[in-house]
Structure 1
Amino acid sequence: MGIKLRILSWWTPEWFLKRGLNELTLSTTGGLEGVLLGENLKSDRANSLHNIHLKGNLDERRKIMAMTHNELVEIMVNSMGRDKSIELGRKAMFKEGLSLGRKFRNTLGVNDSVEDLISAAKILYKVLGIEFSVNNTNNDTEMVMVVNRCALSEYYTSDTCRILSAADEGVVQGLNPHIKMKFRERITEGALCCLAALQMEDD
């Protein structure tokens, strides 16, 4: 484990969390707007959202980001239908997440160990107000991530969560190219907790 990752695992300053949230917000809202512009579905509301300004404490900033995501997803669904919105939105969010994951891998000095992946993911999820644990299964190549608390679930619609969770899947693969994550259950769809499979490549 790199020294920067070790330090941030012990103590993550608020300025780092706010900066990380700003970066995540710009990346994800930009990706969703890109879907709208790519489909030539321009609207005054969609075009104005790129000027989003996060302010207040972390909880207030998360709410602003989440409500902005909801608005963009609603525009997408109303413009192109739910199925197409989810398909295109998830592709865009995975791409954005993958890019962010690769950037954080370099910034934090994440290696290919599962321990480093989990440590880095906990730092990034702290930015979003998400708490999780990772459980082993009987399968040596798979683990399960259990999200017991998600601040965003208080605001996200089920469609927004389904689309934006693809960014999480991209971030994990960006942090460790040998591990893929896939959500199986979501709090926003009525589950008691979110469950995601972490599938490791066979040696």
Structure 2
Amino acid sequence: MLLKIIQRCLPEWIKRKKLKELFRLTADAFQSELPELKGLSSAALLPQYTLFTKEQAENHLQSGRPLEQVKQRLYQNAYRFGRNLRKTLHIGTWEEAVTALKVIYQLIGIDFQCDRQGEIIIRQCYFSSYYSGEVCKLISALDEGLAAGLSGGGRLCFQHRITEGNECCKGYFQRELQVKSKDGST
């Protein structure tokens, strides 16, 4: 029920709160200071977030430090964020997780489409005019963690990206695989 409500109308204060939370978890993953966000609307927060993530990712990529630790922190922080949204929105199915992803991505300027087989396509992405292919790959750990948290363990994977010169982003969103025991139960 709550998911249906946010599809129609999401109050500005919730948008701001969730964008600031996204800022915090990203700053934490990069082990950096959070910029001043007081008084910014959700519309003003998005470009600030874009520039912040671009700068943090570029600095990390240029530092020569291994990427795996920061990717893991981005994934884990976004996973917790997604898991909390899953609980708050009472998401119980993969289809509801897909719907939640569509709503979340719409709020940040991403046209996310996913069919019943889990194939995804993104024709427009706000971030694509700011991010390089390398930055996008690194920041995608946030997408992967968010999707896994929202879906209870599903896997989001991109195979083609706008930031790599492609017309659109393509990939898949795979449901969590259920492992059956010998007696056939899950």
TMscore range, shorter length? 0.7 to 0.9
1:104 to 82, 85, 92: 85
Q: Which residue of 2 aligns with 1:145?
A: 120
Q: Which residue of 1 aligns with 2:2?
A: 4
How has the CA–CA distance of structure 1 residues 51 and 178 changed in structure 2, closer, same or farther, with 3 Å as cutoff?
Answer: closer
CA apart distance, 1:56: 4.7
Query: Are 1:95 and 2:58 an aligned pair?
Result: no
Q: Which residue of 2 aligns with 1:116?
A: 96
Normalising by structure 1, we get a TM-score of: 0.79
1:65 to 49, 64, 72: 49
Q: Which amino acid aligns with 1:9?
A: Q
Query: Are 1:29 and 2:27 an aligned pair?
Result: yes
Question: Could you say what the CA RMSD is over the residues aligned between the two structures, in angstroms?
Answer: 2.0
Q: Matched residues in 1 for 2:87 and 2:148: separation?
A: 13
Q: Matched residues in 2 for 1:144 and 1:55: separation?
A: 39
Q: Which structure: greater helix fraction?
A: 1
Q: Which residue of 1 aligns with 2:182?
A: none
Q: How does 1:46-195 map to 2 (within 5 A)?
A: 46=32, 49-53=33-37, 56-81=40-65, 84-85=66-67, 87-111=68-92, 113-137=93-117, 143-195=118-170
Q: Which amino acid aligns with 1:189?
A: E
Normalising by structure 2, we get a TM-score of: 0.85
Paired residues, what number?
178
Task: Quote the sequence identity (%).
Answer: 26
> Which stretches in structure 1 are left out of the alignment for 5+ residues?
34-45, 138-142
Q: Which amino acid aligns with 1:88?
A: Q
How has the CA–CA distance of structure 1 residues 126 and 15 changed in structure 2, closer, same or farther, with 3 Å as cutoff?
Answer: farther
> Which stretches in structure 2 are left out of the alignment for 5+ residues?
179-186
Q: Matched residues in 2 for 1:167 and 1:133: separation?
A: 18
Deviations 1:138-171 (A, max 9, x none): xxxxx11111111121222222211111111111
How has the CA–CA distance of structure 1 residues 152 and 59 changed in structure 2, closer, same or farther, with 3 Å as cutoff?
Answer: farther
CA apart distance, 1:68: 1.0
